Amino acid sequence: MHRLLFISLLFLSYSTIAQDLRFDKDYAAIEKKVIDWRREIHQNPELSNREFKTAEKIAAHLTSLGIEVQTGVAHTGVVGILKGKKKGKVIALRADMDALPVPERNDLPYKSTVTAEFKGETVPVMHACGHDTHVAILMGVAEILSKHTDKINGTIKFVFQPAEEGPPPGEEGGALLMIKEGVLQNPEVDAIFGLHINSETPVGVIRYKSGGTMAAVQSFTINVKGKQSHGSQPWSGIDPILISAKIIDGLQTIISREMELTNEAAVITVGKITSGVRFNIIPESAEMIGTVRSLDYDMKEQITRRMKEMVPAIARAYGGDATIEIRDQTDITFNDPDLTDQMIPSLIKVAGAEKVQQQKAVTGGEDFSYFQNEVPGFFFFLGGMAPGTTETFPHHTPDFKIDDSGLLLGVKTLTEMSLDYLEK
């Protein structure tokens, strides 16, 4: 059957009203706990690879539920293993734990005033991406499922991951280190699920995309070498700032003139330029740093190759030299099409067909992608925008805000998806 027709029939086969769920009483009882956990974590955020108190809270909760607990995974990660009373497959549910070096401007009773050290400086810390909600949701899922092991046909791993935003310089961390330390083994995971709260999606709505969902993220550093001279005599030097401008202009043509953007989106952004000391000196060097986003592996390879060709060539054309280093930060977050199709009925059952929406890919990145490189995975977006909201603020900003009324849907969705997958 054609895949789009199959999806359409799935939607038609369910009522537009959410179905009765397995654990309605448990869901009603857990909501306040989840909100309280989220607010406590929000008020006490911790940076990547430094999520010590958050990990302690998670481990204590899982232990109190009788779940087998592993701590210190990838520095501060926590893994809970819950075995059902019936044998079957193994699934993993993942929540990321880290906050960001962002000052909070929201006027909330649980506003963060925490500071921490980041790159040698004291910085404000905020859960400006919603990872506090992810942790609280998965803690709620663990509590409900721990009460109903008779309904679990297999094993569930609760993966609380550090450093999704990237480990500090010089450290390993995040999903890659968890995988390296065997989080998908013993027992071997068959599929993994994850969600991300979204401040610009209405509460009650779930959005997803099959295939490439979030972009591969690369960072790059370009060093340009020229020849210093007096600002009044540019002919006696080689201007690295001019060369940098030409490089930036050239890089944008890779996207606008070489990428087939009708297939997938791609972005090259220079985020910082450092050069010079005063107004009347042409400096000797310049440094640029930036990011590349791509949603197609062939396009990613082509962009990388062309950047490495173009940067030194442009510098040479103006008498200078330039080097470029490109580093992978995350891979493409790729929702396995078969697994996605399999889980759509679960989404509809929980949220109602009219609230389950397909979306286009986004150029943000997620290191959940590394788990999906190892096992089939499904990653979806959960609405966190309060009803009646007229102005929203993006993730990673001081005004970022999530409405607590959206959390229970996350608990219900991960719980029902888990049991549905293991039953099939």
Q: Is 255 strand, coil or helix?
A: helix
Q: 248: how many CB neighbours lie within 10 A of its CB?
A: 17
pLDDT of residue 88: 97
Q: How many helices and strands (H and E) does the chain possess? A: 10, 18
pLDDT of residue 15: 45
- Would you say 409 and 350 are in contact if contact means Cβ atoms under 8 Å apart? yes
Q: What is the pTM of this model?
A: 0.91
Q: Which residues of 154-177 are buried (b: 16+ CB within 10 A; e: fewer)?
A: bbbbbbbbbbbbbbeeeeebbbbb
Q: Which residues of 52-61 are buried (b: 16+ CB within 10 A; e: fewer)?
A: eebbebbbeb
- Provide Rg for the chain, Cα atoms: 24
pLDDT of residue 281: 98
Q: 260: how many CB neighbours lie within 10 A of its CB?
A: 11
- Would you say 41 and 135 are in contact if contact means Cβ atoms under 8 Å apart? yes
Residue 326 contacts by C-beta under 8 Å, 6 or more apart in sequence? 218, 219, 220, 292, 304, 307, 308
pLDDT of residue 132: 98
- The phi and psi torsions of 196 (rounded to 5 degrees) equal -140, 125
Residue 409 CA to residue 416 CA, distance in Å, equals 10
- Would you say 311 and 260 are in contact if contact means Cβ atoms under 8 Å apart? no
Residue 356 CA to residue 359 CA, distance in Å, equals 10
Residue 366 CA to residue 120 CA, distance in Å, equals 26
In the numeric block, the tokens 């949603």 are attached to 295
pLDDT of residue 19: 59
Residue 284 tokens read as 């000797």
Q: Is 223 strand, coil or helix?
A: strand
In the numeric block, the tokens 């909501």 are attached to 31
Output the DSSP codes for 12-63.
Answer: HTS-SSPPP-TTHHHHHHHHHHHHHHHHHHHHS---TT--HHHHHHHHHHHH
pLDDT of residue 22: 83
Residue 114 CA to residue 54 CA, distance in Å, equals 14
pLDDT of residue 16: 44
Domains and CATH numbers, the chain: 16-215+332-423 (3.40.630.10), 219-330 (3.30.70.360)
Identify the sign of the CA torsion 200, 202, 204, 210.
Answer: negative
Q: What residues in the chain have per-residue pLDDT under 70? A: 1-20
- Would you say 226 and 283 are in contact if contact means Cβ atoms under 8 Å apart? yes
Element containing residue 143 per DSSP (H, E): helix 131-146
Q: 326: how many CB neighbours lie within 10 A of its CB?
A: 16
DSSP secondary structure letter of residue 290: E
pLDDT of residue 20: 65
Residue 126 CA to residue 138 CA, distance in Å, equals 20
Alpha-helix residue ranges (DSSP H) falling in 147-281: 174-180, 240-253
Residue 125 tokens read as 């810390």
pLDDT of residue 71: 98
Residues in the chain: 424
251 DSSP β-pair partners:
none
Residue 140 CA to residue 11 CA, distance in Å, equals 28
Look at residues 424, 342, 413 and name the one whose alpha carbon lies nearest to residue 380: 413
Give the C-alpha distances (Å, rounded to integers) separating 293 from 244, 267, 273, 325, 392: 20, 5, 19, 15, 24
Element containing residue 411 per DSSP (H, E): helix 407-423
Identity at 352, one-letter amino acid code = G
pLDDT in tens, 134-153: 999 999 999 999 999 999 99
